[in-house]
Amino acid sequence: MAVAQAGVRKPIPFDVHHLDTLLDEAGIDVLVATSKHNVQYLLGDYKFFFFEAMDAIGVNRYLPAVIYQKGKPEAAAYVGNSMEAYEKELGKFWPQSLYLSTWSGPQTMQRAVEHIGKLGPGVRRVGIEAAFLPVDAEKELRGGLSNVDFVDAYFALERLRAVKSPHEIEFLKLASERVVESMNVAFGQCAPGKTKQEIAETLRVEEVKRGLAFDYCLIAAGASLNRAPSAQKLAHGDVVSIDSGGNYHGYIGDLARMGVVGNMPDAELEDLLAFVEEVQMASRRPIRSGAMGASICAVGDKLIAASPHQAYTHFMAHGMGLVSHEAPRLMDGGPVPYPGYDMNRPLESGMVLSIETTMNHPRRGLVKIEDTVLVTEAGCQGLGDGVRGWQHTAG
């Protein structure tokens, strides 16, 4: 939510009251955000183009930082690289204080210490992103602020991003739609003799042509469950699973679809994918604002447990946004381990979820569907729901 504050250069692109509440709950007086995704979020979809694909420069690295004092947005600061003066000229920044002269993590923290020193004697606890603060930069920050306590601000920032704004939802919708459009083209190239690497490269090109930043392609073919792009050649009748992430302005479209090489799927394959699709659609039914987070996995797990495919099929649901696997946290455990904080908490309209059913069939190979779903007041909306069912080629 954009909020106009007196004395601030441009509207603040997030809910100030929400952030202040989260920082208060965490006991944080001043936030120092250093991850690319949170800096982007706090600055309102801003990333410095020069370092978008790399961080290393000279003998250190680019490390931007947003400094925010609880309850005082007018005292916020941004620390960036010298070349970001170009972006300043274009009016990209809302913080009043800008330190655009750094070329390393320690230099960034020197500017952070300098700014925090101007905020007065009430700063007792500083929130940092422990997983995104290099050792040399952290040493500089702690050395310059030896009279304060440091706490991890990851949780507060994750909760701030949990409910997506309309423009974030549009970014996720575009990313999801363009990923499945690209998959449709890639499946059309799945001819006998083509390699998995060639199909993955086709997908990459198609995603980039549609304005996405290509993240990855997991591709399995035949009876193999190996999903690395490789020199493995496709054969007539092979089952092909494509699972890809592509992002738009950093917002991730992560979906999986199925194909078969050279002919129509047989009756067994039709039944296998129909079961996976049944689990996917049934797990959407409880999704709505106010529903408990655990209700989604409860449906998927129950259907799988009652099926003949229980031993080799699993269901997973998680939040999506600037980070793959973010709030809401819908599971305890899983392949990406974190506590299921939202299992017994209500979903909120504007949250975006990934739901996925994966069947590692012992004879037919990998059969998987992954969808991106928006929580609404009355239910849910699929983002990028196209290219369902078995895709096939005539080759």
- Does domain 16-161 fall under CATH 3.90.600.10? My reply is no
**Cβ atoms of residues 151 and 127 within 8 Å:** yes
Task: Report the pLDDT value the prediction gives residue 395, as an integer from 0 to 100.
Answer: 62
Q: Could you tell me the pLDDT band of residue 217, with boundaries at 50, 70 and 90?
A: very high
Distance CA(171)–CA(39), nearest Å, equals 17
Q: What is the mean pLDDT of residues 175-201?
A: 97
Location of each CATH 3.40.350.10 domain in the chain? 16-161
Task: Report the pLDDT value the prediction gives residue 394, as an integer from 0 to 100.
Answer: 62
Distance CA(366)–CA(343), nearest Å, equals 28
Q: Could you tell me the pLDDT band of residue 257, with boundaries at 50, 70 and 90?
A: very high
Q: What φ, ψ does residue 339 adopt, rounded to 5°?
A: -70, 145
What is the residue type of 344? N
Half-sphere exposure of 344 (CA within 13 A, CB side): 2
Distance CA(253)–CA(247), nearest Å, equals 6
Distance CA(76)–CA(69), nearest Å, equals 6
Task: Report the pLDDT value the prediction gives residue 1, as an integer from 0 to 100.
Answer: 36
Q: What is the mean pLDDT of residues 138-144?
A: 98
Strand ranges for the chain from DSSP E: 30-33, 56-57, 60-61, 65-69, 72-81, 97-102, 125-128, 149-152, 213-221, 239-248, 251-260, 313-319, 352-361, 365-375, 380-383, 390-392
Give the other-Cβ count within 10 Å of 44's Cβ. Answer: 17
Task: Report the pLDDT value the prediction gives residue 9, as an integer from 0 to 100.
Answer: 62
pTM of the predicted protein model? 0.94
Q: pLDDT at residue 23 above 90?
A: yes
What is the residue type of 155? F
Q: What is the mean pLDDT of residues 162-191?
A: 97
Q: pLDDT at residue 39 above 90?
A: yes
Q: Could you tell me the pLDDT band of residue 333, with boundaries at 50, 70 and 90?
A: confident
What is the residue type of 130? A
Angstrom distances, CA of residue 212 to CA of 4, 182, 229, 387 = 31, 10, 20, 18
Q: What share of the chain is helix, strand, coil (3-state, %, to 5)?
A: 35, 25, 40
Q: What is the mean pLDDT of residues 239-246?
A: 97
Mean pLDDT of the chain: 95
CATH class of 166-392: alpha beta
Task: Report the pLDDT value the prediction gives residue 264, as an integer from 0 to 100.
Answer: 87
Half-sphere exposure of 25 (CA within 13 A, CB side): 13
Task: Measure the CA dihedral 268/274/276/282, to 10°.
Answer: -150
Location of each CATH 3.90.230.10 domain in the chain? 166-392
Q: Could you tell me the pLDDT band of residue 4, with boundaries at 50, 70 and 90?
A: very low
**Cβ atoms of residues 114 and 138 within 8 Å:** no
Q: pLDDT at residue 272 above 50?
A: yes
Task: Report the pLDDT value the prediction gives residue 263, as an integer from 0 to 100.
Answer: 81
Q: What is the mean pLDDT of residues 76-105?
A: 97
Nearest CA-CA partner of 336 in 347, 323, 345: 323
Task: Report the pLDDT value the prediction gives residue 211, as an integer from 0 to 100.
Answer: 98
